[in-house]
Structure 1
């Protein structure tokens, strides 16, 4: 696919997945890392170009660079001095006068390596991030004054370099935390950061396909992957949910745009992992950036049209960067969840999680070949994709329980697999799998409308559709009704049946606040026989559609909702097909009886007919 050899500085799990993506495209990848690094274990195509050494050692990097056409990174803790020298000596790929050998640029790596410099870079480029100040003194009094300048405690004290997975961070919640924080991070360059009170941690993988840095042209030089929600335990990413749960599409688009602008401010091409905070007021700030594929983007392997690893390889190669088209980074499924497999008390404790995943249909297991595990070490991950977030949450639940059980024993000595499994069994009893989230909402303005809905609800009970029935009035609880509509899509509803009588504003007002299809069911009131409700629902203004069934025909409302849901739910579609066949069979049976017995007898047998015949 491409004749250039890609040299990767680092051969851990990210390098391993880069190699897997490269193999599918016949791209040669050489690795600089230890002898049995995970990436080297599965890579024989360019084995002769591998170097056993350190990506932080200048001589090893120089020796390695002589064997590669393009240099990139699996980890940003590299020696940028030697990269700067290499760039000055031979800046461009051999057969190009403009495509640089080092992607992303060594300047980008140097800026990102120092997290305080990274924060200053964001501020200079108009990228919202938490306010921060360099800590030029190790005295408690100096840090107290800095805290006051940042708006008071709490603040976060951070190491500027060589920090990852929460290592190098120390929260200062009150004055008594200052001295322990300074002792914990002694002899390291530090900075203090304003406390970010966030309600969710988000991440966006961004692929940059042009070498220049220009925030103003971010839409032309970057493409975003979907927004993912990240869950951390002990400062290590535990889970990702894509798309993020309960985050409106509008905010997801804002997160993607912010991530793209942040990435566009740096030189060079490749995939960048952007960590974001969604604050309590729904504003978004950038936390930090990784100039490489990222743990939060593992889900892309199974869930997107193109994985972050393929995107990175294509973006850094001169002949492939322009082949990444809009849409290539989009989700190919409705929902995905990723669970990190972390080491436990024994060398193979983590394998309990992988073995449990073998029993979960659709679970994709990635083990990294790192050998013996240890507490907190990333040993692999599991991804599950599905038709809905509810489906993947239910499937991943027992695996989360097993992973939590491994973690609960991480400080135990000589803990057996049986003991960990016993903990998992007990936790699962206390915390069973969540029920399926409803796909269909049935709303009514008053409990008096329940009588109209009852026939449809009785039919719905026979369908494989989880549902919610509730009361929300356009007139008595208007704000609750509007909030329900706004949140309907993010809650996973695929259709809404709204029953209303009289002025019957409920279906229309609900439809004005949601992208979910709304089906109106007119209720027959004491006056006008429900015609007023029918006319009110069916005569919606252009641009706000509401499907409408006959007066009091909740059965048709439910069946129409089921057909909408069935377009993406095979089990529902199968039920509907069986239901249609049953009606066909029953009607043909009635015709046969009528023809053979005559209408006089048939009429007398009417009382004995099944309800479904009537």
Structure 2
């Protein structure tokens, strides 16, 4: 199909063909970098807007070096690009609205508005008919005490906006801790929500894509292991029953359809001890737990996002190989790089194929995501064994 049509939510469906289209990316981090690398191979051109000199995405695309709230820079991005996307969800609301007026932003700002706020997000997930952990809005010390009494302990107090990798959260294991946790987070001035702690066997995530034409495809669920609230490894196929994997994909597709998402939506879930699934969080962009798709799937999450926002048919999401993705943090970077300079005896012995991706960040800090390794294997246990045998991640548990 060519030309322009209206979708049911009033957004425009345009087919933006490679070779004739420049894509603007709001944000210049590693997700923008990997979007650019995937899209450049397809024939698209890219411009990123980011305040950091020599940003990871700016190393592979043209860069407008300016702050995210700089409306003049946003207008310049709109002038130079045919379609605009974003690589992180905390986009300045004013800039998002301006770009919608001045350019073509198929993702719109509605999904951003929802996912930037935990309470709006939970209500939207529930509206899709999908289960979330029981929760209560917290507005005072009294509502905090009442909510702890209703939900029980353990429970988790979270800021409604901001917060990632465990920031802006307090786990309450005893009712006596409730007031202190409330006072600490209330002091930030943020709105708060209390969630019942779900006893879960594991955490999984599904990256789902929805195109401007309304086509939806899901990637295989990833089983995620976190260490110190940072994603350590993603295991695919997830080590959960096939019916749970299928249900997770159906739930992710239902959320994307209900919210009329465009592009990628990562849907994080808990698998409870009784097999029930609870959606924990959404991310309207490429996701760390979807990096395994770069070598292990017929289409990567990054190519899929480009296809979705440009109105192309979505790509095949078939898993081609079992895979384990392991994050490379600042403390892992040098030994991982050094390891690439010699034959990898562990990989040869285990039959594992390591694929290294480095993000081009200028400073390696402990706990900072600097890259990842995709381990293609015959069985995911081989990939996990490679991680253990290298001893690079010796202080983490997989």
TM-score for the superposition, normalised by structure 1: 0.58
Q: Please name the residue that 2:207 is paired with.
A: 205
Select 1:36's aligned residue among 33, 50, 54.
54
Match of 1:170, SS state, is: strand
Output the CA distance in 2 between the equivalents of 1:86 and 1:24.
Answer: 26
Select 1:354's aligned residue among 316, 319, 337.
337
1:312 aligns with 2:315: no
Q: Please name the residue that 1:341 is paired with.
A: 328
Output the CA distance in 2 between the equivalents of 1:235 and 1:311.
Answer: 28
Output the CA distance in 1 between the equivalents of 2:236 and 2:206.
Answer: 10
1:130-181 Cα distance to aligned partner (Å, 9 max, x none) = 12222112x2x431112223x2122111111111111112111112322432
Q: Please name the residue that 1:287 is paired with.
A: 280
Output the CA distance in 1 between the equivalents of 2:130 and 2:362.
Answer: 41
Select 1:26's aligned residue among 8, 23, 43.
43
Q: 1:152 to 1:269 in 2, by over 3 A?
A: same
Q: Please name the residue that 2:231 is paired with.
A: 237
8 Å CA contact retained: 2:89, 2:284:
yes
Alignment of 1:358-437 (within 5 A): 359=344, 360-361=347-348, 362-399=353-390, 401-405=391-395
Output the CA distance in 1 between the equivalents of 2:263 and 2:377.
Answer: 28
Output the CA distance in 2 between the equivalents of 1:234 and 1:56.
Answer: 31
Residue 86 of structure 1: CA displacement?
Answer: 3.6
Unaligned runs of 5+ in 1: 92-100, 213-220, 408-430, 435-614
Select 2:75's aligned residue among 40, 44, 62.
62
Q: 1:395 to 1:403 in 2, by over 3 A?
A: closer
Match of 2:289, SS state, is: helix
Residue 393 of structure 1: CA displacement?
Answer: 2.6
Higher strand share: 2
Output the CA distance in 1 between the equivalents of 2:155 and 2:246.
Answer: 29
1:382-437 Cα distance to aligned partner (Å, 9 max, x none) = 111122223323323224x31234x7xxxxxxxxxxxxxxxxxxxxxxx9xx9xxx
Q: Please name the residue that 1:493 is paired with.
A: none
Residue 248 of structure 1: CA displacement?
Answer: 1.3
Residue 373 of structure 1: CA displacement?
Answer: 1.3
Match of 2:115, SS state, is: helix
Residue 7 of structure 1: CA displacement?
Answer: 0.8
Q: 1:389 to 1:54 in 2, by over 3 A?
A: same
Select 1:3's aligned residue among 14, 20, 43.
20
Q: Please name the residue that 1:145 is paired with.
A: 146
Output the CA distance in 2 between the equivalents of 1:77 and 1:171.
Answer: 24
Unaligned runs of 5+ in 2: 1-17
Residue 184 of structure 1: CA displacement?
Answer: 3.5
Output the CA distance in 2 between the equivalents of 1:2 and 1:21.
Answer: 14
Q: Please name the residue that 1:262 is paired with.
A: 255
Output the CA distance in 2 between the equivalents of 1:194 and 1:54.
Answer: 38
Residue 192 of structure 1: CA displacement?
Answer: 1.0
8 Å CA contact retained: 1:56, 1:77:
no
Structure number with the bigger relative contact order (C-alpha 8 A, sep ≥ 6) is: 2
8 Å CA contact retained: 2:106, 2:212:
no
Output the CA distance in 1 between the equivalents of 2:382 and 2:281.
Answer: 31
Output the CA distance in 2 between the equivalents of 1:148 and 1:396.
Answer: 43
Q: Please name the residue that 2:9 is paired with.
A: none
1:448-494 Cα distance to aligned partner (Å, 9 max, x none) = xxxxxxxxxxxxxxxxxxxxxxxxxxxxxxxxxxxxxxxxxxxxxxx
Residue 264 of structure 1: CA displacement?
Answer: 1.4
Alignment of 1:163-562 (within 5 A): 163-185=163-185, 186=187, 187-210=189-212, 221-245=215-239, 247-318=240-311, 320=312, 323-325=313-315, 328-333=316-321, 335-344=322-331, 350-356=333-339, 359=344, 360-361=347-348, 362-399=353-390, 401-405=391-395
Alignment of 1:98-117 (within 5 A): 101-117=104-120
CA RMSD of aligned residues (A): 2.0
Q: 1:70 to 1:54 in 2, by over 3 A?
A: same
TM-score for the superposition, normalised by structure 2: 0.88
8 Å CA contact retained: 1:353, 1:403:
no
Residue 211 of structure 1: CA displacement?
Answer: 5.5
Output the CA distance in 1 between the equivalents of 2:128 and 2:179.
Answer: 34
Match of 2:105, SS state, is: coil
Q: 1:56 to 1:303 in 2, by over 3 A?
A: farther
Residue 61 of structure 1: CA displacement?
Answer: 2.6
Q: Please name the residue that 1:550 is paired with.
A: none
Q: 1:248 to 1:69 in 2, by over 3 A?
A: same
Q: Please name the residue that 2:162 is paired with.
A: 162
Match of 1:350, SS state, is: helix
Q: Please name the residue that 2:15 is paired with.
A: none
Residue 268 of structure 1: CA displacement?
Answer: 4.0
